[in-house]
Amino acid sequence: MRVIIEPSAEHGSQRAAAIVAQLIRKKPRAILGLATGGTPLKLYQELIRMHQSEGLDFSRITSFNLDEYVGLPPTHPQSYRHFMTENLFRHINIDIRNTHVPDGRALDYETYGSQYETMIDEAGGIDFQILGIGRDGHIAFNEPGSSLGSRTRLKTLAPETIRDNARFFGTAEDVPRLAITMGVGTILESKKCILLAFGKEKAEAIAATVEGPVTAQVTGSALQFHRDVVVILDEESASQLQRRSYYDEVEEAHRRLQSGEVK
C-alpha cells in the first residue's frame, strides 16, 4: 500500500481526483468502480469541476458501483443510483447507459450477483476502484466476518452500519437491513484501488486496515493482498498509524523522483 497523508479531506480529495483524471486522460475508455456515501463527495465535486473547467471527458467511460440497498427503487432519495445521479452523473458527459448500479429490486439475488460479475468481466474488468471504509473497517457492504473471497451477493447489514447510515434516513428503523454488494474478491480483482478515509472516527479502522493483520473481521485489511492500492487520508484519519514517518519518507521520495531530483 502507498499511504498518502494530506492536511485535510479537501486536499485528499483533490489528490485523489488528480489520480482519477490522469487515468481517464491516459485511457478514455476506462472502467471505473464507484463508491457512495459522504467520503467520496469532495472527490466527485472535483471531478465535476475538472470536467466543466478543464474538459475532462467521461463520454467513453463505463462505471460500476459497489452496492445498493435492497428494496429501494432508483428514484428513492436514499438509493445509490439517485446518489450517483445527483452527485456525479448529471453533471458530467458520461453516457448514462454505461453506468451500472446494482439493482436493489432484483427478484433472484444469487442470479443477479452472478450477472453483475459477468457484466464487469465482459467490460474488461475494473481499472480503478474507488473505496471508502466503515468505522468497523468494512469495504463496500462487506461487513465484519465476510469472506475475503466473496463475490457480488446479498448481505445483511451490521448494527454498526445501520446506526452510521441512520443519519441519511432520519431514523435507524428506516435503514434497509439488506444490500447487494460487490464482494471482497471482486474488489481485489480491480487493477488499481484508491481508498479514501477522512476524520478521526476512521482512524482505528485505517490503522487496522493498513497495519493490522489480514482478517475477515476487518474486510478492508484484505487490500494488503492487492497489487496496487493508494490510501489517501487526512491528518485525523492517519492519527493512529504507527509507521507515519515511513509513509512521509516514501512520499518525499516520490516527490523527488517526479521532480527529477533523483535520476
Name, in order, each residue with C-beta under 8 angstroms of 87's C-beta and a sequence gap of 6 or more.
41, 44, 45
Of the residues 6, 46, 51, 67, which is catalytic?
67
Q: Rounded to a whole number, what is the distance in angstroms from the first to the last CA of the chain? A: 24
Of the residues 117, 143, 164, 234, which is catalytic?
143
Provide the whole-model pTM: 0.95
Residue that is written with C-alpha cell 480529495 in the block:
13
Of the residues 117, 138, 164, 234, which is catalytic?
138
Residue that is written with C-alpha cell 527529477 in the block:
260
Check if 138 is active-site. yes
**78 grid coordinates:** 436514499
Q: What are the extents of the domains in the chain?
A: 2-259
DSSP state of 158: P
Distance (Å, whole) CA 189 – CA 192:
9
Q: What is the pLDDT along the chain (263 residues), one digit of tens a residue?
A: 999 999 999 999 999 999 999 999 999 999 999 999 999 999 999 999 999 999 999 999 999 999 999 999 999 999 999 999 999 999 999 999 999 999 999 989 999 999 999 999 999 999 999 999 999 999 999 999 999 999 999 999 999 999 989 988 989 999 999 999 999 999 999 999 999 999 999 999 999 999 999 999 999 999 999 999 999 999 999 999 999 999 999 999 988 888 888 66
Which CATH topology does 2-259 take? Rossmann fold (3.40.50)
